A and B are shown apart, each in its own frame.
Chain A
Amino acid sequence: AQSVTQLDSHVSVSEGTPVLLRCNYSSSYSPSLFWYVQHPNKGLQLLLKYTSAATLVKGINGFEAEFKKSETSFHLTKPSAHMSDAAEYFCVGGYGQNFVFGPGTRLSVLP
């Protein structure tokens, strides 16, 4: 079965410190992988996507993610958190037309 796991339901960091949001996928083959951000009462905004090209993917707002097949991981990182990064983050596996959402990680940024 296809699944996407986000190990942390909540991550809290101080402004200016690095961000790490973890994501693992389970599949017999490598899916397309996406990270989306959702601010309160808003829709989803695509941060970045992996589609079997470069394993290190750079996205918007300084975020990047590295695809590691051996670890079946696609963790999201940012060198320096900003207050505006506080939101819900979803890791999503794309299996053909089927999108499988992770449970989400809420990122809090402390001043």
Chain B
Amino acid sequence: GAVVSQHPSWVICKSGTSVKIECRSLDFQATTMFWYRQFPKQSLMLMATSNEGSKATYEQGVEKDKFLINHASLTLSTLTVTSAHPEDSSFYICSAESSGGFLDEQFFGPGTRLTVL
């Protein structure tokens, strides 16, 4: 149980285009989902926290207009990288917190590798 999927697993796009990444909780309801980015050989950095039906909370230094997050249902959150540039190339990982599950535990998706040319 507690499986989180991400789609796509990897994407290559041209500079200036927008890319949408989906994060789904497959077998549980997630009231809260988290988006992280990970640069090569570095740790994960939290970008934003999204709660179903409300606006996402962004970490300091993360541009909310560039990284649009939508959490429209209890099983789906999307991250849209708008007007992507090469410096946005990174590994994006989402996680979900079960609304009825164990406190303080997040279930992580497999990640999405974004390469902006």
A residues engaging B (CB < 8 A)? 31-32, 34, 36, 41-46, 49, 51, 90, 94, 96-99, 101-104
Q: Residue on A with the closest CB to B38?
A: A38
B44 near A90: Cβ-Cβ < 8 Å: yes
B108 near A41: Cβ-Cβ < 8 Å: no
- Encode contact with A along B79-108: 1 for CB under 8 Å, 0 otherwise: 000000000000101010100001111101
B34 near A99: Cβ-Cβ < 8 Å: yes
A44 near B105: Cβ-Cβ < 8 Å: no
B43 near A99: Cβ-Cβ < 8 Å: no
A43 near B104: Cβ-Cβ < 8 Å: no
**B92 shortest CB reach to chain A, Å:** 11
B residues engaging A (CB < 8 A)? 6, 32, 34, 42-46, 49, 91, 93, 95, 97, 102-106, 108-111, 113
**B50 shortest CB reach to chain A, Å:** 11
Bound complex: CA of A43 vs CA of B96, how far in Å?
Answer: 13
User: Main secondary structure on chain A at its contact with chain B?
Assistant: strand
**A50 shortest CB reach to chain B, Å:** 10
Q: Which residues of A contact B91 (CB under 8 A)?
A: 41
Q: A44-B93, A90-B43 are in contact. Are A51 and B104 (CB under 8 A)?
A: yes
Bound complex: CA of A45 vs CA of B97, how far in Å?
Answer: 15
Q: Residue on B with the closest CB to A103?
A: B43
A94 near B104: Cβ-Cβ < 8 Å: yes
Q: A99-B46, A101-B43, A101-B44 are in contact. Are A36 and B108 (CB under 8 A)?
A: yes
**A42 shortest CB reach to chain B, Å:** 6
5 tightest CB-CB pairs across the interface, nearest first? A43-B110, A94-B104, A32-B104, A44-B108, A101-B43
Q: Which residues of B contact A104 (CB under 8 A)?
A: 42-43
A42 near B104: Cβ-Cβ < 8 Å: no
Q: Residue on A with the closest CB to B51?
A: A97
B43 near A97: Cβ-Cβ < 8 Å: no
